[in-house]
Structure 1
Amino acid sequence: MPVAIITGASKGLGRALAEALAGRGWDLVLDARGGRVLTEAARAVAGHGARVEALPGDVTDAGHRAALVAAARGFGGVDLVVHNASALGAEPLTRLAELPLEGLRRALEVNTVAALGLVREALPWLRESATGTVITLSSDAAAEAYGTWGGYGASKAALDQLAAVLAVEEPGLRVWAVDPGDMATDLYAAAVPEDDSPRPAPADVVPAFLRLLDERPASGRYSAPSLLEAR
């Protein structure tokens, strides 16, 4: 069975993607900071017939990242790494003039540095896999200048560049930076609590990720809404 590591998997898109992959026969190593919620998510994912190991922890911790990869190796290897864990830097979001620098550092550590750290930890086994794949979660804020989204957008722009360079340096892998588009998630609610406009559920976005895994296009940056429209 193929094996995936998914960070930020206790809820939202991470959990929805985990359930979809479990239904397709993937074994999964799941990460999140909240142990109780992660355990509940892992139980639901395992109900789809997958082997699941849930490891609560902080992706900015090198020891935790090593444990995630070790757990995947226990299942047979690492075929897919999905870095879905994200930090906003401030909740709610704020203008750069008021953005705490510690918040910016946290966003960069979680969204960018931890992503590279996890990929580096998993890289020997990704290279051995016939379908070694890295998916990083991007954002339109990485490419557009939206007021109050500067810190978060900067961390995602840096992540996009890391993904692009990784694809050049590791041509045997597929490396996709995916902008999932607007979703109804706790992260968005924390970012902009006054915005109660309807948004797609994370499960509605998952088919875009499954399409990438099925069709395996070239490494690059993709938009989930565009992938869904082209189906």
Structure 2
Amino acid sequence: MTTAAPTRVAGLERLAARTWRGLEEEPYGDWLLRAGGGFTGRANSVLVTGDPPGGVRPAVDTVTGWYADRGLRPCAAVPVPGGEAADAAFAAAGWTRDEDVLVLVAPAGPWPAVDVPVQLDDAPDAAWLAGYRHRGAALPATAAAVLRNAERPLFASVRPDPVAARPAAVARGVVVDEWLVVSAVTVDEPYRRRGLATAVMAALATEARARGATSCLLQVTASNAPALALYARMGFTEHHRYHYRWAPPG
């Protein structure tokens, strides 16, 4: 488990939030309300760092109303340490808790990778979008807008020859304040266990270092054992965790 101080956790969470943004965002004290058409928890949850105006108990009602007005199920992203008081308030209001998400950090490569060509683009084309399987499912219509909504994002892909319906592997990276934040790492089933996840990450890291990045951050669910094993081999260690709280359906 993490030993990071709450202030360091909050700073890294706010940095990561700049790389995966809602299509609508609104500060609420130190918290950040985010809505992105329902695509991903990160783009459709209030980021709970620091303090909301008026205390955490009234904030639960405000957050509930903000998301209800947008037709979204209210959701909170609660980092630990630092979010314990807010977490207790959401729990008392009947909000359910998802599994832990681990925030992992490492130097930004270089990582040894298999010798395959990796394509880097500044926007996701239709093939890249077909290759990214969020939680195993095809992407909704709002996904492309959320994926592009960052400063100078990079989209890596390994494209089989002859060209298949979707890439063999994809990943997304954004550089902010000397950090490369990696997301959307997906390897198509027939191409797994060939080192392609490392290949797309290594390509992102090479470009990120040219842009001044020295460290790398990524997020992975606690139950994703294969990904955790891969990232451990690449030198990633746990910095902290967060989880989502969801309002009761209704």
Q: TM (normalized to structure 1)?
A: 0.31
Q: Which has the larger radius of gyration?
A: 2
Structure showing the higher strand proportion among its residues: 2
Structure showing the higher helix proportion among its residues: 1
Higher relative contact order (CA 8 A, sep 6+): 2
Q: TM (normalized to structure 2)?
A: 0.30
